[in-house]
Amino acid sequence: MAAAGRLRGRRPGLTGTNGMIQDTQNIEHTNISLPDPRTLDYLRALLGFATVTRGPNLDLIDWVRGQLDAHGIAARVIRDDTGTKANLHAWVGPQGVPGIMLSGHTDVVPAEGQDWTVPPHAATERDGRVYGRGAADMKGFVACALAALVRARGLPLKRPLHLALSYDEEIGCVGVRRMLDALAAAPVRPSLCIVGEPTSMDVALGHKGKMALRAVCTGRAGHSALAPKALSAIHLACDFVDGLRGMQAELRQGGAQDADYEIPYSTVHVGCMHGGTALNIVPDRCTLDLEIRHLAGDDPAGLLARLAGHAERIAAAQRERFPEAGIALETVNAYPGLDTRPDDDAVGFVQALLPPGARRFKVAFGTEGGLFRQALDVPVVVCGPGSMDQGHKPDEYVTLAQLRACDDFLARLTATLAA
């Protein structure tokens, strides 16, 4: 990203952040024998669980808990209301003092309809890569984090290392919210959260916030032979979409700008339209699923108010003839953006644990990082193995080199907790 250079800065010794971060200037950046054999074993197992988002993940969570139990690592499972899926919070090291949280999600996007050449829910290793749904996004990081937790169990840690695994991240960071409620109630919170989404082991400092919305358009049904006597809800929806395109043009030209993003302005996108039952019936209902991905400089409540005003103007123009005309907006899901300052001590801490040349940038995709920042009031960075260029695609993979780099980074991280 061309603008990433503006976020680069000095690589300071690490001080501050609730006294947790220590000087890492003397940590050597030499490769250890990586990937850790445990990392590969864990990744092979994790890829075998078809934890497609919205579906259950308890088999994976139970397996993870079993691995942790075998090493004497404490963990708690936080289930959802259905009892079919759960978060997991594990930790090693002393309690009562701030530590570092590693965060990852266990769900993956569906593989159906994609042209895979390898089994999607299994590990296939070839040419220095591990293929499988979730290899990059983000079971590669989860495997590295589990191996790091096991290694840390044998160290004389002065500060704890935490691991948070959540469910249904891919549909709006749903599961992690229940775990954050529990973490926020704890007497001591972590000093730093590292979200392990794939960044090619560079340091991502920000992402846009997101609002997922549904617009329900109501018209009047009728026979298509008498269409002018009815009000097509699909026509209302099309008028609404046309207005959204105008709003997008305004945001592009006159809205907040952040050149550190590939798309430097807030965006409005319609993903689905559903309406009508037969060609000869004027439909009285049509729904639109849309989203706003907003910069920190654009108030999401203000953007939503603009959409609601636009919807009301369209419907109001029809109410003299059709009193039932309406376009109702519903917020389905929302999560905040992330905007960590480049000069935050936590950023310097993380970057000092990476090889020289690791860049600082912002990612286009969302994470649970903004929720951690909001709920726990802790600095958050995003750093993990693999690239989102491979995520959500057929034959998704993570390279062994990226797994080695992540293992190396986490080994240095745990060394600072024992220093």
Residue type, 269: H
The token duo for 325 is 């005309």
Are the beta carbons of 360 and 202 closer than 8 angstroms?
A: yes
In angstroms, the first-to-last Cα distance of the chain is 35
A 10 A CB-CB count for 225 gives: 8
**Complete domains list, the chain, with CATH:** 2-207+337-418 (3.40.630.10), 209-335 (3.30.70.360)
Calculate the average pLDDT of the chain: 92
Closest residue by Cα to residue 214 from 289, 283, 274, 164:
289
Closest residue by Cα to residue 35 from 316, 408, 294:
408
The span from the CA of 311 to the CA of 290, in Å, is: 13
Give mean pLDDT, residues 213-232. 98
The span from the CA of 140 to the CA of 398, in Å, is: 7
Are the beta carbons of 108 and 133 closer than 8 angstroms?
A: yes
Are the beta carbons of 141 and 66 closer than 8 angstroms?
A: no
At residue 246, φ and ψ (nearest 5 deg) are -65, -40
Per-residue confidence (pLDDT) for residue 34, from 0 to 100: 52
Better-predicted residue by pLDDT, 419 or 415:
415
The token duo for 330 is 């519903």
Residue 316 has pLDDT above 80, yes or no: yes
User: What's the per-residue H, E or C state across the chain?
Assistant: CHHHHHHCCCCCCCCCCCCCCCCCCCCCCCCCCCCCHHHHHHHHHHHCCCCECCCCCHHHHHHHHHHHHHCCCEEEEEECCCCCCEEEEEEECCCCCCCEEEEEECCECCCCCCCCCCCCCCCEEECCEEECCCHHHHHHHHHHHHHHHHHHHCCCCCCCEEEEEECCHHHCCCCHHHHHHHHHCCCCCCCEEEECCCCCCCEEEEECEEEEEEEEEECECEEHHHHHHCECHHHHHHHHHHHHHHHHHHHHHHCCCCCCCCCCCCEEEEEEEEECCCCCEECCEEEEEEEEEECCCCCHHHHHHHHHHHHHHHHHCCCCCCCCCEEEEEEEEEECCEECCCCCHHHHHHHHCCCCCCCEEECCCCCCHHHHHHHHCCCEEECCCCCCCCCCCCCCEEEHHHHHHHHHHHHHHHHHHHC
Q: Which of 30-39, 292-301, 406-415 has the lowest mean pLDDT?
A: 30-39
The 10s digit of each residue's pLDDT in 141-187 is 999 999 999 999 999 999 999 999 999 999 999 999 999 999 999 89
The span from the CA of 337 to the CA of 204, in Å, is: 12
Residue 31 has pLDDT above 50, yes or no: no
Give mean pLDDT, residues 386-394. 96
Per-residue confidence (pLDDT) for residue 40, from 0 to 100: 97
Are the beta carbons of 169 and 176 closer than 8 angstroms?
A: yes
The 10s digit of each residue's pLDDT in 248-258 is 999 999 999 99
Per-residue confidence (pLDDT) for residue 296, from 0 to 100: 86
The 10s digit of each residue's pLDDT in 192-207 is 999 999 999 999 999 9
Task: Report the catalytic residues.
Answer: 107, 169
Residue 17 has pLDDT above 50, yes or no: no
Give mean pLDDT, residues 364-373. 95
Give mean pLDDT, residues 342-348. 95
Residue 385 pLDDT class (50, 70, 90 cuts)? very high
Residue 132 pLDDT class (50, 70, 90 cuts)? very high
Residue 336 has pLDDT above 90, yes or no: yes
Between helix 58-70 and helix 37-47 the angle, nearest 10°, is 160
